[in-house]
C-alpha cells in the first residue's frame, strides 16, 4: 500500500481541510456582510480621510494598554498577547513550517534556529495552559465560556503538543508523530470557520470599522 | 550436492582461501557489532560458522534491475563480503551461474528437492501478476509460480531490495505490470524484508549471517525489516543534524549553504522518515552516503517511496499531486474552487437570513423606518 | 370557577410570555444588520469589557459583564441570521430565547447599564458593545419589557412633547424663568440663526441654567429662539428603547427648527439629548438634517476661538470636571469644556479616570429614573463619589443636567458634601464684553 498515515495527513486530509477552511471562511464572512447595511445620514465631525485613517490607526492602538484600564486588565492582556506572539513566531519562523507555507503560497523567508523555536514553543504551550486555567477560574470568563471556547483551546493545544512531540521525536515513530501533528492541523482548519478562531480574520477589520464609525463622531477610539 | 559427501565446512573453505581464523573472527565481530549484538557473539558466531556445513541458499531474481545483487556482490576491492560466497552454498543464482537453459532449471529443481525445508530463499525484484504473469517468466513459468513453489521448501525468505520487500519502482503508480512484493504472494514462510534501493551490502550480509548463525529471525520492525539495521532513521544518525537543529538549510543545490554542508531538509531530504543504516554504515565500505555527497535522502528503503515523491520538496510540504508534481497550481485551483463555493453558500445564507428576518418581523403593525442598522 | 380562573390566568400568562418572545424576536431581527452581526461575531469571550464597567467594578458580579447584557441578542442572531443558522435551528445547537430569559435580562439591560461607552473603548476586538446594548433595548421594548418609568415618560413625551404631566405648561415655566432671572426669553421667533431646546430637568430643577444659556446667547448677539412646540431636549424614547417614539420626539424639535429656518439647533446641558439629535436623529428620519446640531459647550468654545466670546476669570478655587459620557467620550465634545474652563482660569484637578475614560455619574441611560435600580445605582456610584473626593476639591463642574440630578440625588442619599455646578452657569457669570457683535457665529 502506498498510502500511509503521513501521506494521508498531508495529502487528501490536508486538501479536504483546506477546502473546508476556504469555503467556510468565505461563507461565514459573506453571510453577515450581506445583511442589511444602514446608511448614516448624520453629519460627520471629521473628513472621511481623517476618520478612516483613525480607524486604521485603531487596529494598532486597541492593543495599547491604557493606564486607566491596565491595573485591572494588565495580567490577562499580557498572557493573551504573549502566547499569540509565541504562536506566530513558532508558526512563521520554523524551517519546516516555512517550507509548508511556501508550498502553499510560493514564497519563503528566513527562519529562526530550531532550538530557539522549541524553547519558544514550550513557553507558549505553558502560557496556553495558563490561559485555560484563567478561563476556568475567573468568574466573568467562565460565565461567558461555551463549547466553542473550550474546543478551540483544545485543538490549538493539540497542534502545539503534537508539534513538540514530533520535533522531539517523542513517543512514536517520527512519521507517525508528524502525521498526527499534520492531522491535528487538518482538524483545526476544518473547525476554524465554525468557531471563535475566526477572530483572526475579524480583529483588524473590526477595530478599523468600529474605530472609523466612532471617529466619524469624534468619539473616543 | 549431496549431504553424504560432507561439504567442506565454512572454516575449511575459508582456510582454503587464505583467510585466517583470526581474520574471520574479526569479520564476525564487526558484523555482530554492526547489529548491536553482544560482542561475545562474534567469537561464538565465528566458531559456529567454522564448524557448520555451508547452508544452502537459493537466490531468485524476478522483476528487478539487478542493483540489489550488484550491491551484494560488487565491491571496489576484494572484501570479506565476497568470501561470504564461500560461507554459504549458493545453489542457484541466475546471474552468477554458468549454466543456462534446461541445465539451470534442473539445478534449481535439484537444489529445492535436496534441501527441501532447509534452504534460505533470497528474492529480489517484484512479482508481476499482470498479463497472466507474462511480464516476467523463466522457462515459460511466471515469476509468481516460481516463487510459490520455491517458498514451499524455504525455511526463511529474505526479500532483498525494496522491490521484493514492498513492490518498489514497478509497484509505483500506475503499476502497469501489476507488480507485488513477496509478502503479498507468500503467506506461510517467514519473510525478512531487507529493503533499500539497493540495500547496503553489509546490511544484506549481516542479516543473512545472523540468520545463518543463529537460525532465528532477528527482531523485526512493523515492515519486517531487521531492527538492527532499520531501527533508526537516517535523520537520527545524520552528521548534518546540528544544522537541522539550528535551522540552517540549504535552499538550492550548490548554494552557500549547500557548500557549507548544511541540512538538506528543504531540498527534499527524506531522512526523518527513512529507516536505514546509511548514515552509520554508509556505502562503498564506509566511504560516503547520499547526504554526505550533497543530495537529500530519497527514502528508498520505505514502502511507496516513489509515489510519495516530492524528491526535491521538503517533507513538511503539502503533497497532493503525483510524484514529481508541485502543489502550487493545485493549491490555487483548490482555493479558487472552494472560495467560489463559499461565496455561493455565503450569498445563499445571507439570503436565507434576510428572508427569515422578514418573516420574524411580519405581523408588525407599524413600519417606521426603512433603513435599519 | 376557580379552576377556570386559573386556567384563564395561565393562558393569559402564556400568551403574554409568547407575545413577549415574539416581540423580542421581531425587535432583534429588526436590529440585525451587517454591522451588528459583525460585532456579535467578533466577541472572543475575553471578559475585558467587565473591567471597564463600573457596575461590575463596584459589585464584582459577573452578570454585569457588558457583552453578557446582550447575550439573548447574540443567541437570537446566531440562531436566526448567522451563516449556519439553518443548521443551528435544525440540530438545536442553540436554544431559542425564552420569556424567562427576557425577564431576567430586563434588569441587566436597563437597571445596570448607563450606556456610558466605556466597554466599547476597552474591547480588544473593537466591538461597540454600547450600540449592541442600545439595540437590545429596542428589542426589549418591542417585547413589552421596558421599565415602566421609562415607558410612561416616553409615551407621554411622544404624545405631548414633555415626559411628565405638568400643572403649568412648560412654555409658561420658561417665560417665568426669564422674568425671575431678568433675562429675555425669545419664544417662537420666525427666522433665527440658532434654535434652542432646553432640558426639562433644568426647567424644573435648575432654572438658573436655563437663564444662563439665554443670557449667553443674548450676550453673543446671535439671533435665537425657543419654540413652544419643540422645547424639551430630553428624549425618553431613546431611554425606553423605542425607535418610533425616539423619532417622534426628535421630529418635534426638527420640525420646529425647520419652521424657524434655524441654521443651528443648540442643545444645552444634556448628554443623551445631544446624542439623540446629533448622531441618531438623521438616521431615524432617513435623510440629513437641514441644520447643524451643536452642544452648548461646543458652540461656545468655537465662539471663544473666533473671538466672539470673551470670558473673565472665574472665582471658584480648585475644581474638578465631570465629563458627561454622551457628550465627551461618545459625542466627541471633549475639548470644548476644557477650553472654556481654561479661558476662565479654572484650576482644574482632573479625576483619576477623566476625559475619554471617565466613569459615568451613574444616572445615564435612564437609570436615574428607574426605582428598582436605585440600590444598585447607589452602590455603583460610590466609585465615582470616591473619585471626586480624591481630587481634593470643594466643587466640581459638569455640563449635563441629568448628571446634576444624579449627583444631587446621591448627595441626599449618602449625605455627601458636594454638588456639581453647571459649566454653563459659570460661563454666564463670567461674560466679558467684547467688540460690538454684528455678525453671526457659525460652526
Instruction: Look at residue B371 in the predicted model and tell me its pLDDT.
Output: 39
Complete domains list, chain C, with CATH? 3-145 (1.10.1060), 150-307 (no CATH), 310-429 (3.40.50)
Q: Which residue of C has its CA nearest to A58?
A: C126
SS3 call for C24 = helix
Instruction: Look at residue A4 in the predicted model and tell me its pLDDT.
Output: 79
**Could you tell me if residue B27 is inside a domain?**
no
Q: What angle do CA C433, C434, C439 make, to 5 degrees?
A: 125
Q: Which residue of B has its CA nearest to C134?
A: B373
**Could you tell me if residue B296 is inside a domain?**
yes
Instruction: Look at residue C117 in the predicted model and tell me its pLDDT.
Output: 95
Q: Which residue of B has its CA nearest to C81?
A: B353
Structural domain including B138 reads: 55-230
C436 band by pLDDT with thresholds 50, 70 and 90? low
Residue C300 clears pLDDT 70, i.e. is over it: yes
**Could you tell me if residue B21 is inside a domain?**
no
Residue C337 clears pLDDT 60, i.e. is over it: yes
Tell me the Ramachandran region of residue A42: left when phi exceeds 0, alpha when psi lies from -120 to 50, beta otherwise. Answer: beta
Distance (Å) from the alpha carbon of B362 to chain C's nearest alpha carbon: 8
Cα C162 from Cα B65, distance rounded (Å): 101
**DSSP, residue by residue, C43-66:** -----HHHHH-HHHHHH--GGG-H
Cβ–Cβ below 8 Å for A104 and B331: yes
**Could you tell me if residue B159 is inside a domain?**
yes
Whether residue C329 lies within 8 A of chain A, CB to CB, comes out as: yes
Instruction: Clarify whether residues B186 and B174 are in a common domain.
Output: yes
Cα B314 from Cα C432, distance rounded (Å): 81
Interface probe, candidates B235, B251, B320, B342, chain A, greatest A C-beta count within 10 A: B342
Average pLDDT estimate for B27-40: 76
Distance (Å) from the alpha carbon of C84 to chain A's nearest alpha carbon: 8
Considering only residues 140 to 179 of chain B, which have any Cβ-Cβ distance to chain C shorter than 8 Å? none
Whether residue B354 lies within 8 A of chain A, CB to CB, comes out as: yes
Instruction: Find chain C residues with C-beta within 8 A of A76's C-beta.
Output: 46-48
Q: What is the overall mean pLDDT for chain C?
A: 92
Q: How far is CA B334 from CA B174, B188, B227, B270, B338, in A?
A: 24, 46, 41, 26, 6
Instruction: Look at residue C1 in the predicted model and tell me its pLDDT.
Output: 42
**Could you tell me if residue B282 is inside a domain?**
yes
Residue B1 clears pLDDT 70, i.e. is over it: no
Instruction: Find chain A residues with C-beta within 8 A of B262's C-beta.
Output: none
Cβ–Cβ below 8 Å for A34 and B304: no
SS3 call for B331 = helix
Q: Which fold has domain A2-216?
A: Fumarate Reductase Cytochrome B subunit (1.20.950)
Q: Which residue of C has its CA nearest to A204?
A: C125
Exposed e or buried b for every residue in B186-219, given b needs 16+ CB within 10 A?
Answer: beeeebbbbbbbbbbbbbbbbbbbbbbbeeeebe
Instruction: Clarify whether residues B215 and B142 are in a common domain.
Output: yes
A194 band by pLDDT with thresholds 50, 70 and 90? very high
Instruction: Clarify whether residues B99 and B161 are in a common domain.
Output: yes
Residue C235 clears pLDDT 80, i.e. is over it: yes
Q: Which residue of C has its CA nearest to A63?
A: C124
Considering only residues 338 to 357 of chain C, which have any Cβ-Cβ distance to chain B shorter than 8 Å? none
**DSSP, residue by residue, C429-443:** HTEE--SPP-SPP--
Return the minimum-mean-pLDDT range out of B201-205, B353-357, C176-180: B201-205
Question: Based on the structure, what is the number of domains in chain B?
Answer: 3
Q: How far is CA A193 from CA A29, A201, B350, C45, C372, in A?
A: 9, 10, 16, 17, 43
Instruction: Clarify whether residues B114 and B212 are in a common domain.
Output: yes
Cβ–Cβ below 8 Å for B314 and A1: no
B100 band by pLDDT with thresholds 50, 70 and 90? confident
Cβ–Cβ below 8 Å for B272 and A178: yes
State the Rg of chain A over Cα: 21
B314 vs C252: which has the higher pLDDT: C252
Distance (Å) from the alpha carbon of B360 to chain C's nearest alpha carbon: 5
C332 band by pLDDT with thresholds 50, 70 and 90? confident
Residue pLDDT, tens place only, C116-152: 999 999 999 999 999 999 999 999 999 999 999 999 9
Instruction: Clarify whether residues B111 and B97 are in a common domain.
Output: yes
Average pLDDT estimate for C34-57: 96
Instruction: Clarify whether residues B244 and B268 are in a common domain.
Output: yes
Interface probe, candidates C19, C30, C90, C158, chain B, greatest B C-beta count within 10 A: C30
Instruction: Look at residue A138 in the predicted model and tell me its pLDDT.
Output: 96
Average pLDDT estimate for C261-278: 95
- Given a contact cutoff of 8 angstroms between Cβ atoms, the answer to whether C352 and A67 are in contact is no
Residue pLDDT, tens place only, C7-27: 554 566 777 888 899 999 999
State the pTM of this model. 0.84
Cα B246 from Cα C31, distance rounded (Å): 55
Residue pLDDT, tens place only, A20-42: 999 999 999 999 999 999 888 99
- Nearest-CA neighbor of A83 among A122, A50, A30? A122
Interface probe, candidates C21, C22, C32, chain B, greatest B C-beta count within 10 A: C32
Task: Reply yes or no: is the peptide bond before residue A122 cis, omega within 30 of 0.
Answer: no
Interface probe, candidates C37, C45, C123, C285, chain A, greatest A C-beta count within 10 A: C45
Instruction: Look at residue B185 in the predicted model and tell me its pLDDT.
Output: 94
| Residue carrying C-alpha cell 424576536 | C25
Domain ranges of chain A: 2-216
Q: What is the overall mean pLDDT for chain B?
A: 84
Residue A128 clears pLDDT 60, i.e. is over it: yes
Whether residue B355 lies within 8 A of chain A, CB to CB, comes out as: no
Average pLDDT estimate for B154-160: 95
Q: Which residue of B has its CA nearest to A97?
A: B316
Instruction: Look at residue B5 in the predicted model and tell me its pLDDT.
Output: 54
B369 band by pLDDT with thresholds 50, 70 and 90? very low
Instruction: Clarify whether residues B193 and B253 are in a common domain.
Output: no
Considering only residues 243 to 262 of chain C, which have any Cβ-Cβ distance to chain B shorter than 8 Å? 243-244, 247
Instruction: Look at residue C184 in the predicted model and tell me its pLDDT.
Output: 94
Residue B82 clears pLDDT 70, i.e. is over it: no
Instruction: Look at residue B318 in the predicted model and tell me its pLDDT.
Output: 66
Instruction: Look at residue B4 in the predicted model and tell me its pLDDT.
Output: 43
Cβ–Cβ below 8 Å for C33 and A198: no
Residue pLDDT, tens place only, A154-191: 999 999 999 999 988 888 888 889 899 999 999 999 99
Residue B370 clears pLDDT 70, i.e. is over it: no
Cα C121 from Cα A219, distance rounded (Å): 10
Domain boundary among B230, B250, B284: B230
Cα B329 from Cα A106, distance rounded (Å): 10
Cα A70 from Cα A55, distance rounded (Å): 22
**Measured on CA atoms in the order A41, A47, A52, A55, is the torsion positive or negative?**
negative
Interface probe, candidates C18, C29, C254, chain B, greatest B C-beta count within 10 A: C29
Instruction: Find chain B residues with C-beta within 8 A of A180's C-beta.
Output: none
Cα A191 from Cα A155, distance rounded (Å): 9
Cα C188 from Cα C175, distance rounded (Å): 12
Ranges B180-189, B325-334, B353-362, most confident = B180-189
Cβ–Cβ below 8 Å for C37 and A41: no
Whether residue B334 lies within 8 A of chain A, CB to CB, comes out as: yes
A59 band by pLDDT with thresholds 50, 70 and 90? very high
SS3 call for C126 = coil
Instruction: Look at residue B365 in the predicted model and tell me its pLDDT.
Output: 44
Whether residue C401 lies within 8 A of chain B, CB to CB, comes out as: no
Cβ–Cβ below 8 Å for C62 and A146: no
Whether residue B356 lies within 8 A of chain C, CB to CB, comes out as: yes
Residue C342 clears pLDDT 80, i.e. is over it: yes
Cα C191 from Cα A114, distance rounded (Å): 78
Instruction: Look at residue B139 in the predicted model and tell me its pLDDT.
Output: 87
Domain boundary among B183, B215, B230: B230
Distance (Å) from the alpha carbon of C433 to chain A's nearest alpha carbon: 30
By Cβ distance, the residue of C81, C135, C285 closest to B357 is: C81
Instruction: Clarify whether residues B349 and B315 are in a common domain.
Output: no
Whether residue C332 lies within 8 A of chain A, CB to CB, comes out as: yes
Whether residue B368 lies within 8 A of chain C, CB to CB, comes out as: yes
Instruction: Clarify whether residues B313 and B248 are in a common domain.
Output: yes
> For chain B, where are the E strands, in sequence order?
56-61, 89-93, 119-124, 127-128, 137-138, 141-142, 154-160, 179-180, 191-194
Domain boundary among B200, B230, B260: B230
Cβ–Cβ below 8 Å for A144 and C32: no
* Neighbors of chain B with 3 or more C-beta pairs under 8 Å: A, C
Cβ–Cβ below 8 Å for A34 and B249: no
Return the minimum-mean-pLDDT range out of A216-220, B71-75, B228-232, C283-287: B71-75
- For chains A and C, CB pairs below 8 A equal 167
Instruction: Look at residue B373 in the predicted model and tell me its pLDDT.
Output: 45
- Nearest-CA neighbor of B373 among C279, C116, C93? C279
Burial of A194: CB neighbours in 10 Å, binned 0-12, 13-18, 19+: middle
Q: Which residue of A has its CA nearest to C330?
A: A219
Q: What is the overall mean pLDDT for chain A?
A: 92
- Nearest-CA neighbor of C174 among C193, C187, C189, C165? C187
B55 band by pLDDT with thresholds 50, 70 and 90? confident
Instruction: Look at residue B173 in the predicted model and tell me its pLDDT.
Output: 86
Interface probe, candidates A140, A148, A201, chain C, greatest C C-beta count within 10 A: A140
Residue pLDDT, tens place only, C199-216: 999 999 999 999 999 999
Residue B33 clears pLDDT 80, i.e. is over it: no
Instruction: Find chain C residues with C-beta within 8 A of B353's C-beta.
Output: 32, 80-82, 85
Amino acid at each position: 500500500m502506498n498510502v500511509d498515515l503521513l501521506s494521508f495527513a498531508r495529502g487528501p486530509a490536508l486538501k479536504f481541510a483546506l477546502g473546508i477552511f476556504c469555503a467556510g471562511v468565505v461563507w461565514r464572512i459573506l453571510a453577515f456582510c450581506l445583511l442589511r447595511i444602514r446608511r448614516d445620514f448624520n453629519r460627520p465631525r471629521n473628513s472621511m480621510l481623517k476618520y478612516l485613517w483613525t480607524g486604521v490607526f485603531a487596529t494598532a492602538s486597541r492593543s495599547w494598554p491604557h493606564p486607566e484600564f491596565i491595573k485591572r486588565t494588565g495580567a490577562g492582556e499580557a498572557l493573551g498577547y504573549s502566547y499569540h506572539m509565541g504562536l506566530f513566531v513558532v508558526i512563521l519562523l520554523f524551517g519546516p513550517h516555512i517550507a509548508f507555507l511556501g508550498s502553499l503560497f510560493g514564497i519563503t523567508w528566513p527562519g529562526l534556529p530550531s532550538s530557539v523555536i522549541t524553547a519558544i514553543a514550550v513557553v507558549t504551550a505553558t502560557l496556553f495552559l495558563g490561559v485555560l486555567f484563567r478561563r476556568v477560574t475567573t468568574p466573568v470568563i467562565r460565565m461567558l465560556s461555551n463549547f466553542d471556547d473550550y474546543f478551540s483551546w483544545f485543538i490549538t493545544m493539540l497542534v502545539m503538543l503534537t508539534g513538540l512531540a514530533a520535533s522531539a521525536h517523542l513517543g512514536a515513530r517520527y512519521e507517525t508523530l508528524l502525521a498526527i501533528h499534520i492531522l491535528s492541523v487538518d482538524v483545526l482548519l476544518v473547525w476554524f470557520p465554525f468557531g471563535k478562531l475566526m477572530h483572526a480574520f475579524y480583529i483588524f477589520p473590526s477595530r478599523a470599522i468600529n474605530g472609523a464609525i466612532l471617529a466619524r463622531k469624534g468619539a473616543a477610539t | 550436492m549431496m549431504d553424504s559427501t560432507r561439504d567442506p565446512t565454512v572454516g575449511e573453505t575459508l582456510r582454503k582461501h587464505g583467510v585466517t581464523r583470526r581474520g574471520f573472527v574479526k569479520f564476525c565481530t564487526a558484523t555482530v557489532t554492526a547489529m548491536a549484538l553482544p560482542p561475545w557473539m562474534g567469537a561464538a558466531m565465528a566458531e559456529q560458522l567454522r564448524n557448520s556445513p555451508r547452508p544452502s541458499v537459493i537466490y531468485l531474481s524476478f522483476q528487478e534491475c539487478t542493483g540489489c545483487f550488484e550491491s551484494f556482490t560488487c565491491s571496489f576491492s576484494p572484501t570479506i563480503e565476497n568470501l561470504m560466497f564461500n560461507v554459504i552454498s549458493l545453489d542457484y543464482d541466475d546471474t552468477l551461474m554458468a549454466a543456462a537453459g534446461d541445465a539451470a532449471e534442473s539445478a534449481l529443481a535439484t537444489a529445492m528437492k535436496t534441501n527441501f525445508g532447509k534452504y534460505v530463499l533470497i528474492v529480489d525484484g517484484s512479482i508481476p501478476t499482470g498479463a497472466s504473469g507474462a511480464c516476467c517468466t523463466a522457462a515459460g513459468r511466471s515469476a509468481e509460480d516460481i516463487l510459490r513453489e520455491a517458498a514451499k521448501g524455504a525455511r526463511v525468505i529474505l526479500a532483498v531490495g525494496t522491490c521484493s520487500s514492498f513492490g518498489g519502482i514497478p509497484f509505483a503508480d500506475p503499476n502497469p505490470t501489476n507488480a507485488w512484493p513477496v509478502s503479498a504472494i507468500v503467506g506461510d514462510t517467514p519473510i525478512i524484508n531487507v529493503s533499500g534501493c539497493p540495500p547496503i551490502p553489509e546490511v544484506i550480509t549481516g542479516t543473512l549471517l545472523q540468520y545463518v548463525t543463529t537460525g532465528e529471525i532477528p527482531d523485526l520492525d512493523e515492515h519486517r525489516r531487521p531492527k538492527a539495521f532499520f531501527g533508526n532513521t537516517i535523520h537520527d544518525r545524520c552528521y548534518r543534524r546540528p544544522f537541522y537543529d539550528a535551522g540552517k538549510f540549504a535552499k538550492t543545490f550548490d548554494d552557500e549553504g549547500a557548500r557549507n554542508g548544511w541540512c538538506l531538509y528543504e531540498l527534499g531530504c527524506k531522512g526523518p522518515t527513512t529507516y536505514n543504516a546509511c548514515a552509520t554504515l554508509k556505502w562503498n565500505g564506509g566511504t560516503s552516503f547520499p547526504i554526505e555527497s550533497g543530495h537529500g535522502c530519497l527514502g528508498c528503503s520505505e514502502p511507496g517511496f516513489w509515489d510519495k515523491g516530492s524528491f526535491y520538496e521538503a517533507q513538511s510540504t503539502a503533497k497532493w499531486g503525483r510524484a514529481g508534481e508541485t502543489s502550487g497550481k493545485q493549491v490555487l485551483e483548490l482555493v479558487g474552487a472552494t472560495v467560489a463555493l463559499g461565496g455561493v453558500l455565503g450569498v445563499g445564507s445571507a439570503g436565507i437570513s434576510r428572508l427569515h428576518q422578514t418573516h420574524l418581523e411580519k405581523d408588525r403593525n407599524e413600519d417606521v423606518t426603512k433603513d435599519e442598522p | 370557577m376557580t379552576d377556570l380562573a386559573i386556567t384563564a390566568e395561565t393562558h393569559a400568562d402564556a400568551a403574554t410570555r409568547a407575545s413577549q418572545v415574539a416581540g423580542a424576536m421581531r425587535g432583534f431581527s429588526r436590529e440585525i444588520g451587517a454591522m451588528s452581526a459583525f460585532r456579535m461575531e467578533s466577541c472572543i469571550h475575553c471578559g475585558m469589557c467587565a473591567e471597564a464597567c463600573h457596575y461590575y467594578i463596584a459589585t464584582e458580579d459577573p452578570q454585569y459583564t457588558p457583552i453578557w447584557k446582550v447575550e439573548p441578542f447574540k443567541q437570537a442572531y446566531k440562531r436566526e441570521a448567522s451563516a449556519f443558522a439553518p443548521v443551528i435551528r435544525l440540530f438545536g445547537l442553540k436554544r431559542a430565547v425564552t420569556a424567562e430569559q427576557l425577564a431576567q435580562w430586563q434588569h441587566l439591560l436597563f437597571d445596570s447599564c448607563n450606556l456610558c461607552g466605556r466597554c466599547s473603548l476597552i474591547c480588544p476586538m473593537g466591538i461597540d458593545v454600547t450600540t449592541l446594548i442600545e439595540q437590545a433595548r429596542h428589542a426589549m421594548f418591542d417585547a413589552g419589557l421596558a421599565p415602566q418609568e421609562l415607558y410612561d415618560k416616553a409615551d407621554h413625551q411622544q404624545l405631548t412633547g414633555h415626559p411628565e404631566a405638568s400643572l403649568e405648561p412648560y412654555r409658561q415655566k420658561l417665560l417665568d424663568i426669564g422674568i425671575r432671572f431678568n433675562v429675555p426669553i425669545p419664544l417662537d421667533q420666525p427666522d433665527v440663526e440658532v434654535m434652542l431646546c432646553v432640558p426639562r430637568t433644568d426647567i424644573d430643577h435648575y432654572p438658573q441654567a436655563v437663564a444662563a444659556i439665554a443670557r449667553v446667547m443674548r450676550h453673543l448677539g446671535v439671533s435665537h429662539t425657543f419654540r413652544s412646540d419643540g422645547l424639551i431636549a430630553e428624549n425618553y424614547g431613546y431611554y425606553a428603547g423605542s425607535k418610533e417614539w425616539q423619532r417622534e420626539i426628535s421630529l418635534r424639535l426638527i420640525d420646529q427648527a425647520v419652521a424657524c429656518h434655524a441654521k443651528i439647533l443648540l442643545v444645552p446641558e444634556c448628554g443623551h439629548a445631544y446624542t439623540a439629535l446629533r448622531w441618531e436623529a438623521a438616521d431615524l428620519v432617513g435623510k440629513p438634517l437641514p441644520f447643524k446640531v451643536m452642544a452648548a459647550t461646543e458652540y461656545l468654545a468655537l465662539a471663544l476661538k473666533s473671538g466672539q466670546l470673551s470670558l473673565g476669570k472665574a472665582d471658584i478655587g480648585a475644581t474638578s470636571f465631570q465629563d458627561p459620557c454622551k457628550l465627551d467620550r461618545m459625542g466627541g465634545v471633549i475639548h470644548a469644556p476644557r477650553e472654556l474652563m481654561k479661558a476662565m482660569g479654572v484650576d482644574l484637578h482632573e479625576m483619576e479616570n477623566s476625559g475619554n475614560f471617565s466613569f459615568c455619574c451613574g444616572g445615564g441611560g435612564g437609570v436615574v429614573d428607574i426605582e428598582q435600580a436605585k440600590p444598585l445605582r447607589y452602590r455603583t456610584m460610590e466609585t465615582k463619589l470616591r473619585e471626586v473626593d480624591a481630587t481634593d476639591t470643594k466643587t466640581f463642574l459638569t455640563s449635563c443636567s441629568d448628571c446634576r440630578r444624579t449627583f444631587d440625588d446621591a448627595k441626599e442619599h449618602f449625605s455627601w458634601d458636594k454638588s456639581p455646578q453647571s459649566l454653563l452657569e459659570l460661563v454666564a457669570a463670567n461674560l466679558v464684553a467684547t467688540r460690538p457683535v454684528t455678525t453671526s457665529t457659525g460652526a
